[in-house]
Amino acid sequence: MIQSMTGFGTADKNINGFGTISVELRSTNHKFLETVLHLPEGFLAVEDRLKKMVESSLKRGRVTCVISIVGKSLPEVTVNKQLFLRYLKTTRELRKQCGIEEEVSIDTLINLPGVISLSERKISPNRIWPGFKKAMESALGDLVAMRSREGQALSVHLKSGVEELRQSSEFIKERFKKVVREKSEQFKNDVERSVFLKESDITEETDRLTYHIKNFKNKLGSSGPIGKELDFICQEMQREANTIGAKSVDVQVSGRVVQIKSQIEKLREQVQNVE
């Protein structure tokens, strides 16, 4: 079953003592696989591992991954005891010198500059990697599932479109045979008939168009990334349609060629989203 390149996946994983890891994945169309990571500060060490996880699940598309850690543990409190004791000693000396009986409160001392400092607790990427990995796997699972659903919808449209092409191709074949029979009655000799067929015979082109249509339809049942192949087949079909239109000597054939070219363009637009 074909896969779409458009999808979204998300997952949250609680890490005891460190908060919750939140992973968001979004994929869009791209010629190749490109992974763009937005990681918390200090987590570049796990970038390669995360990219390999994406590469193991996806083959094409631009994947944007945003990872954040929310609800982190409270900052660590550091007390500079030596500085505190200096402040205490100095204040006591001042009390004696100035004859102040009132003792300086501890609340006053700890609020003096440099006594208490707050530092954010650093998180080791390797320490929380197991939880990191599970969150990423869960988000990837959601993304792949959504791309599969989108792929199923795409497959329905593509099968319908290629069936219209098949019917139009058959119409042109039968119509050309009828045109040749009608024209044959007007030819005065075999030379005129030969000249007519040389300039307007579209048998080879319609045969090749039919082959490409069948090939396109068969590819839709394949697994793996086939988007590039489908786009190439569409280009080949468009080339044959252009030649048929250029050689056409019949209004009905020309009109159907216009429909075929329009349908091929629609297919190409949809194929751009196939992995």
Full DSSP string of 97-118: HHT--SPPPHHHHHTSTTSEEE
- Closest residue by Cα to residue 143 from 1, 50, 5, 35: 5
Q: What pLDDT does 99 receive?
A: 78
**Scanning the structure block, which residue is given the tokens 């497959």?**
155
Q: Which long-range contacts (CB under 8 A, 24 or more apart) does 219-224 make?
A: 220/2, 220/155, 220/158, 220/159, 220/162, 222/2, 223/1, 224/59
Q: What pLDDT does 199 receive?
A: 80
Beta-carbon count within 10 A of 126 CB: 9
Q: What pLDDT does 53 receive?
A: 95
Q: What pLDDT does 119 receive?
A: 65
Q: What pLDDT does 40 receive?
A: 86
Q: What pLDDT does 65 receive?
A: 96
Q: CA-CA distance, 5 to 161, in Å (whole number)?
A: 20
Q: pLDDT tens per residue, the chain (275 residues)?
A: 889 999 999 999 988 767 889 999 999 999 999 999 999 888 888 999 999 999 999 999 999 999 998 765 556 678 888 888 888 888 888 878 887 778 878 888 788 888 888 666 667 778 888 888 999 999 999 999 999 999 999 999 999 999 999 999 999 999 988 887 777 767 667 777 777 777 888 989 999 999 999 999 999 988 889 999 999 999 999 999 999 999 888 899 999 999 999 999 999 999 999 99
Taken in order of first residue, the domains within the chain and their CATH numbers are 7-73+126-146 (3.30.230), 76-119 (no CATH), 150-271 (no CATH)
Q: What pLDDT does 71 receive?
A: 67
Full DSSP string of 127-147: TTHHHHHHHHHHHHHHHHHHH
Task: Judge if pTM exceeds 0.75.
Answer: no
Contacts of 193 (CB under 8 A, 6+ apart): 183, 184, 187
Q: CA-CA distance, 106 to 73, in Å (whole number)?
A: 27
| Single-letter amino acid, residue 126 | N
Q: What pLDDT does 78 receive?
A: 82
